[in-house]
Structure 1
Amino acid sequence: MKSDFIMQPPHPETEWSACTGYSESAVFIEPIIDVSLRDASICTGPDHRYYLTGTTDGSSVQVWTSADLKSWTGPAAVWSLEQDGTWQKESTSPTGISAPEIRYVKGTFWVTYGLTQGGTGLLKSLSASVMGPYEDMGKMTADGQDASLFEDEDGAVYWVYSNGKIARMNEDMTGLAEIPRMVEVQPWRVAGREDHPSYIRNLQVGDYGAFLYKRDGYYYMFCADALERMGSDAVDTFVAVSQSIYGPYSRRYLALPHGGQMTLFDGPEDRLYASFTGCGSYSPVEHYPSVVAMTLEGPGFIRPTKEVILEKGAVGSLKPVADFPIRDPHISTGPDGTYYMTGTSDEPHRNFWDRNNQLHLWRSKDLKEWHHVAKVWDLSENGTWENNMYKNPCLWAPEMIYLYGTFWITYSLQGGGTGMIKSVSGHAEGPYIDMGRMTNTDIDSSLFLDEDGEVYFVWQDGKIARMKKDMTGFAEDPRKLLCSDGQRVGYEGAFIVKYKGKYILGAAEWSGDKRVDGTYDLMYATSENVYGPYTPRRLAVPHGGHGTMFIDRDGRLLSTFFGNDRTAPFRTRPGIVLLRAEEDEQGLCIAPCCE
């Protein structure tokens, strides 16, 4: 792990900076109790037992107890707003208890909480037992919610709440010894890898649910926030890191997908765990409490272990179909039914995406077992115009198609420009000849053969031009395919496939942060005509990015996958996603499904 994670934006494909990791034995996260509950909080007591609470009915603080994080007893109502409340009832508007949190500090249990109409308070157990009875320590703040306690190594205790506010408490824990201040984070302003504009403006860790943790001299400030990864309703857990409690704090990064408001605690075998409630429709345990084992990979970098799957659906549990590194994979079918895969790759098992100049092919009879065919093109050996454009050209995103009795491969160059090669033997392994430059700029080129025999060159963000019959260039001026609402379908990786009588235009787009914490998704739009108009774009494959759709020998629609964001199920390995395509009121609805 590189120690500069919190200082420099990593490329999302790098495994050392990934938020989720791949394990063959990983299993879906499951609820620990069969009770719908939000803002789950767990702490470890001095008796090595674990105590759970969270937002339930809004009228009381309820607690569950466990010795192993698996079997739980409860709930026990340890405090009631109606019976025990005092100042909390002063409001003229209806009120309720929100996000209670249990902490063990200074020899006893404490419950922090917020009120639904705003304001935070503190309860102290007078018996040193989590069951109380509890003394009401009064109102801590008139604003905010989601309160928490943090005890530093010097014994000082801090009130942490809302969206990252913090204040040291007085010695008797009856109030704050200072005016709360907001933790501010640093945005990344790096060309091509930008924070979402709202986070650059706000400079905050998140929107709610602040929680502070310290390990090895680093303070970790957690908050929940909605990033709209995959265009969804997910609420993720973000963290910013500092070596001083008041900051300055690093740029925030996503630490726990779908985690929402969480707490950290030491669990069995001295492992670090996070409470998890599951916020959003992609979560396997939406609004049910669970626990996730976490790992500190190095100074300032925390993430879930590889043991659990935190995203439901066919993509969340997707497994690679092979173990060679590849980006932008493309699969097509040869005349004998053999499947061929190509993509951005270099010498097998080498991972140099910014220096690769080779084009490799793999073949399969069943889409499961893949075998390397050959290196069919090498710019250093076969390149012509490419070497005139760039001193050390880098080859990206090749795609293969069989037409006119032979194989054709389009490709692009890092920095712009697309080309095409043709097999002169009629075989996939070539040899190939250079058909020349197709475009002077742009990347991610593809060929589409329509049912009437016309061939189209499709590239970048939906640009298209019909090819000449001899495939030496364009037979018409290029045009740009747009959705009916004026949007592009995506910003790169455009392709067209025809299925169930509809033209499907696909392309890659980032949702949320661009090339940082967002998701690299495969979007699509459909039309009755190759030139459109196309329907408004929709999400086809979360994390699918520059994958491409293809039709297998059984007539099924599938998509390639390689993983290019921090929350993908794996990164830079070939995957295949089975798709279902059904008519709905918006046209053809395409989504992943399980085989």
Structure 2
Amino acid sequence: MRRFLILTLGACAAWAQHGVVREYAALSPKPGAKPLAPLFDAPLTDVSICLGPDRAFYLTGSAAGASGAVYSRQASIWRSPDMRQWRLLRTISLPAPARSPEIHFLKGTFYLTAGLEGGGTVLLKFEPGDLANSAHRHVRITVRGEDPSLFLDDDGTFYWVMGGGEVARMKPDPMDGLAAEPAAVVEPLTGDVRSVAMRGAFLAKVGGFYHLFVAERRLRHGDLGRLGEPGGTDDTWVAVSGKPDSGYTRQRYLAFPHAGQTTLFRGPGGALWATYSCTDHRGVFRLKPGAFRVEQVDATKPVWPIGFDFDKPDPPVKYRPAGILLRPDTSSLYEGGPVAALQPAAMDPVPGQRAPFPWIRDTSITRGGDGVYFMTGTSGNMDAIHLWRSRDLRRFEYVKPVFTLDGSKPELWYNQAPRRLLWAPEIHYFDRNFWLTWCVNNRLGMGLLKSTTGRPEGPYAPTYEGNRAFLAPQIDASLFQDEDGTPYFVWQGRFLRRLKRDLSGFDGDTVELLTADGEQVGYEGIFLRKIGRWYVVLAAEWNGGGNRQDGTYDMMYAVSRKLTGPYSRRRAGVPHGGHSTLFQDERGCWYLAFFGNDRTAPFRAMPGIVPLEIEDAGEDLLIRPGRVPSPVKTRPAPAGPLRTPAATETVGSAWWSTLAACTRRSWWPADWSPAPPSASG
């Protein structure tokens, strides 16, 4: 994923403790963002809005069934003077069953485009006068294709746009048809990340460049899309060109999450707006008309990708040639569920760090014997393990660096490569002592430290002897202690090895923790705990996009009644919650330590606390994010052997509504309420 920083030092200081959009590639909401609300309550999708000659707004769209747009012989048109109050203006008959109608006011004339059932596209032209009762006529533009749109260039040339990105120049009077054959100007992705269901192309000129918007679901790792959603999320992607009908960038970027088939128009005050037509189950609402203001962000400067080398800024390649990023108004939420509205806990910055704001990645939190919570993670200048403490999980006070790489001794094992960085330290508390795992990039390996005083602030020393890594060359080390007291070292995305009781070395062979279908739970950031009867493996995965690109960095999990597995089929537990750790409060409620890594996370590189709702369903353990921490719920175990749960199985709505709260801690706005649970948690 590409990540960029545009805030000044002063701005960073002012926004440091909030869900600030720290990089211009981010789509994170501003502090206090509210869920986007439908314009009105009607089963409608593929929403289209245009500004009319009377400065009023006109809206149409596809009739919607349970799963999306349906074909209809009619199209309804609504009118609003202010984008707030809408009334049905008229309903017109179409020449055949159609869907995806779009309304346009161009060169003093209202037009309506539509895609016909069975293929083919039509254009309707209304006579001058009041649109409420003006006559219209239609012509068929193509015998194939779907989801058509109409674009008027600055030189007066009309273009026909349709499907997943086909464009054709039209004759001077668009009712006379095409002047050239439609040609595909963007192509679906194939390979590791692939495009499915590309549709609803729409062309707009913004900042002197042509922006082609396409509704597209992207899948990776089988059928998983962003947020780990089976089948993908219905997002709006954009390609840019200096010409309307050719030359589009091969690399499209995610512009409007969950907006589906969109149209752009000038809203109140002349601001650029877009329509929201969500059909997936992860949006803030679905199959109702919505609209939002579009933000244009300068995207020309390469800047630091948080958590990586300070001296190697990412170039803003994907935003060329326009040099701007288009994103939804960051004062609204477009994703549903508790995590979308999560707010970060406050934290002190590391003294002397190069970054102008407090930050942390790979957040690790544990509760000590005195009830105080201790936190560490990748932070500071990435040359030390830093420690914070908190009594309420709302604010973390900086304690000290408890371990620092010694750069003055080149012979030390962790100094054997230039530009080495200390990543992903974790803090663990068991056997009345504190333990730290950590790793160094460039394949130098992992370390294991023990507090020599039993206190969280140390000092710490290696549990083993010699100038060497505890284990090399992988990364992301963690610890697990089973109920019988046996400690284990876990690392990367799937490896487990038993330790000696004093953690000075290994006492067994390496085991791979795999699912019943032979997969690892995730590719990095493994974490292992036992919850009741179940061993639970967490790991991070980029879903719906390439690593550090437009996918989501999700917490995947799998469960087993046996430590070494096989584990259940993996599924997404907490969206945006990759490389996370579990911990409990004083009442035994479970939480996930969160940090925010991908472009659509609720915030970036700050500590988050996600209360978990966990249910032992007898043949499976179900985990999902909640708003209020709750105890583990248990269903009576069914008779018969255990079965492997499906990837989409999750906690039902009855469990959602009958949870008993452990405590009333909350990291969400007081007036926010979560949407009903979606298909895969």
TM-score (norm 2): 0.78
Work out the CA distance in 1 between the residues paired with 2:541 and 2:193: 17
Work out the CA distance in 2 between the residues paired with 1:331 and 1:180: 56
Counterpart pick for 1:567 among 600, 604, 609? 600
Matches within 5 A, 1:135-284: 135-173=136-174, 174-184=176-186, 196-199=192-195, 207-227=198-218, 228-232=225-229, 233-250=232-249, 251-284=251-284
Counterpart residue type for residue 274 of structure 1: A
Q: Tell me the secondary structure at the aligned position of residue 387 of structure 1.
A: helix
1:370 is aligned to 2:396: yes
Counterpart pick for 2:88 among 65, 74, 81? 74
1:518 is aligned to 2:560: no
Query: Residue 372 of structure 2 corresponds to which residue in structure 1?
Result: 338
Work out the CA distance in 2 between the residues paired with 1:195 and 1:519: 18
1:541 is aligned to 2:595: no
Work out the CA distance in 2 between the residues paired with 1:594 and 1:382: 47
Query: Residue 440 of structure 2 corresponds to which residue in structure 1?
Result: 413
- Gap runs ≥5 in structure 1: 1-8, 89-95, 188-193, 348-355
Matches within 5 A, 1:459-470: 459-470=491-502
Residues 382 and 589 of structure 1: CA distance in aligned 2, closer, same or farther (over 3 Å): farther
Post-superposition offset of 1:269: 2.1
Which has the higher mean CA deviation after the structures are superposed, 421-430 or 483-492? Answer: 421-430
Q: Tell me the secondary structure at the aligned position of residue 23 of structure 2.
A: helix
Counterpart pick for 1:435 among 448, 463, 480? 463
Which has the higher mean CA deviation after the structures are superposed, 106-115 or 422-431? Answer: 422-431
CA contact (8 A) 1:185 1:248 kept: no
1:448 is aligned to 2:461: no
Post-superposition offset of 1:11: 3.9
1:316 is aligned to 2:340: yes
1:307 is aligned to 2:331: yes
Work out the CA distance in 1 between the residues paired with 2:238 and 2:129: 31
Counterpart residue type for residue 313 of structure 1: G
Q: Tell me the percent identity.
A: 41
Which string of whole-angstrom CA distances, capped at 9 and with x for unpartnered residues, describes residues 264-300 of structure 1?
1111122211111222111121101111111111334
CA contact (8 A) 2:50 2:59 kept: yes
Query: Residue 351 of structure 1 corresponds to which residue in structure 2?
Result: none
Q: How many pairs align? A: 555
Q: Tell me the secondary structure at the aligned position of residue 159 of structure 1.
A: strand
CA contact (8 A) 2:363 2:378 kept: yes
Work out the CA distance in 2 between the residues paired with 1:67 and 1:154: 29
CA contact (8 A) 1:28 1:310 kept: yes
Work out the CA distance in 2 between the residues paired with 1:281 and 1:186: 23
Q: Tell me the secondary structure at the aligned position of residue 31 of structure 1.
A: coil
1:48 is aligned to 2:78: no
Post-superposition offset of 1:58: 1.0
Q: Tell me the secondary structure at the aligned position of residue 210 of structure 2.
A: strand
Counterpart pick for 2:535 among 503, 506, 514? 503
Work out the CA distance in 1 between the residues paired with 2:199 and 2:297: 25
Work out the CA distance in 2 between the residues paired with 1:506 and 1:303: 31
Residues 300 and 388 of structure 1: CA distance in aligned 2, closer, same or farther (over 3 Å): closer
Query: Residue 106 of structure 1 corresponds to which residue in structure 2?
Result: 107
Post-superposition offset of 1:185: 5.9
Q: Tell me the secondary structure at the aligned position of residue 286 of structure 1.
A: coil
Q: CA RMSD in A?
A: 2.0
Which string of whole-angstrom CA distances, capped at 9 and with x for unpartnered residues, describes residues 197-254 of structure 1?
435xx9xxx7100100002211000010112112224211110011121232121111
Q: Tell me the secondary structure at the aligned position of residue 376 of structure 1.
A: strand
Post-superposition offset of 1:393: 2.3
Which string of whole-angstrom CA distances, capped at 9 and with x for unpartnered residues, describes residues 413-454 of structure 1?
112311112211221111111335221111111111111111
Query: Residue 387 of structure 1 corresponds to which residue in structure 2?
Result: 414
Query: Residue 679 of structure 2 corresponds to which residue in structure 1?
Result: none
Counterpart residue type for residue 227 of structure 2: M
CA contact (8 A) 1:185 1:252 kept: no
Post-superposition offset of 1:15: 3.7
Q: Tell me the secondary structure at the aligned position of residue 16 of structure 1.
A: coil
Counterpart residue type for residue 302 of structure 1: L
Work out the CA distance in 2 between the residues paired with 1:238 and 1:247: 17
TM-score (norm 1): 0.90
